[in-house]
Amino acid sequence: MINAYLGIDIGSISTKGVIIDDENNILAKEYLWTKGQPIVAVKELLVKLHRQIKDTNIKVMGVGTTGSGRRLIGAMLDASVVKNEITAHAVGTTSLYPNIKTILEIGGQDSKIILIDNGIVIDYAMNTLCAAGTGAFLASQAKRLGIRVEDFGDLALSAKNKVKIAARCTVFAESDLVHKTGMGYKKEDIIAGLCDSVVVNYLNNVGKGKKIKSPIIFQGGVSKNKGVKKAFEEILKEHIIIDENGHLMGALGVAILAKKSGIKKIFKFNIINLNFITETIECNKCPNNCEIISIKKDNQVIDAWGNRCDNGALIK
């Protein structure tokens, strides 16, 4: 029997999962859209991961979760480890690139930068409310231009005269794009300009005040965009590493942490047949009026959070 470990990175836009062995080799991997339904997305993810290992002697002995929905999914799967994205991405990345010093990460709605020294996180930052440096922004602009976001990178690389697009925020960038389109600039030149604006926005906001050192790795869904990678290399004047599994680093990292936790219990994939629901209630037992979120498995509360005192505790 091969001992394996499951890591799930559950975000607002995408859900990622990997199954690794004791040597951190990826035995199964999957990436799909969350679509605002994290529980449904994770069930679908588990079906696809199980399909990849079901005819083997692989047994999943631990589960880790990360991402914005980590606590919810951690409760659902009875995870051994529930960790923040910074830790998970750093662990996953340094397992493959032990000498890495800077992680640039741009996802669907979140962006982050992680600075590492000798395998230890020494600084990090995440994006604020502005979405101009994220995948969601690029996707909306692709729709506006009538092209597939998957074609963004190749079109950007074919540009001959990049158009400058305002990079201060989403509103300025979108209005500038509309203006430049109306003036008759070529689509590929506008797209290359958008890639530059994403990088400039990222560096001016997420990377502000950070000392970016090489080796540098770029990950997250946007790292698949060749135009954004090229923009980073031109602006930073550094080589940027792209890993084929860069979008899975958070899941990989939390799977490794589940393995290292030493907590072993066989994970059963038939969990997909159980009924999980979430409920939100407002506690009126004290002036705090906390909004409490609970997750139920077959109508039994298995976890709850949001209460600021014991009056609102659903599980004691």
**How confident is the model over 141-160, as pLDDT tens digits?**
777 778 877 777 788 888 87
Q: Which two tokens stand for residue 121?
A: 């996180």
* Best CATH choice for the domain 99-242 from the list 3.30.420.40, 1.20.210.10, 3.60.150.10, 3.30.465.10: 3.30.420.40
260 Cβ contact list (under 8 Å, min separation 6): none
Q: Which two tokens stand for residue 56?
A: 């083997």
Q: What is residue 130's predicted lDDT score, i.e. its pLDDT?
A: 59
Q: What is residue 191's predicted lDDT score, i.e. its pLDDT?
A: 83
Burial of 204 from C-beta contacts in 10 A (0-12 / 13-18 / 19+) = middle
The answer regarding whether domain 2-92+251-273 maps to CATH 2.60.40.10 reads no
Cα–Cα distance between 7 and 66 in angstroms, integer?
Answer: 8
Cα–Cα distance between 83 and 71 in angstroms, integer?
Answer: 9
Same fold, 2-92+251-273 and 99-242: yes
Three-state SS at 128: coil
Q: What is residue 211's predicted lDDT score, i.e. its pLDDT?
A: 93
Q: Where are the domains of the chain?
A: 2-92+251-273, 99-242, 276-312
Q: Which two tokens stand for residue 24?
A: 């951190």
Q: How far apart are the first and last CA of the chain?
A: 38
Q: What is residue 58's predicted lDDT score, i.e. its pLDDT?
A: 94
Q: What is residue 218's predicted lDDT score, i.e. its pLDDT?
A: 96
Q: What is residue 195's predicted lDDT score, i.e. its pLDDT?
A: 86
Q: What is residue 316's predicted lDDT score, i.e. its pLDDT?
A: 53
- Output the pTM of the full model: 0.87
* Chain CA centroid to CA 162, Å: 29
Cα–Cα distance between 202 and 225 in angstroms, integer?
Answer: 15
Q: What is residue 183's predicted lDDT score, i.e. its pLDDT?
A: 77
In this prediction, the residues of the chain whose per-residue pLDDT falls under 50 are none
| Of 228, 255, 256, residue with least CA distance to 242 | 228
287 Cβ contact list (under 8 Å, min separation 6): none
196 contacts 235 by C-beta, under 8 angstroms = yes
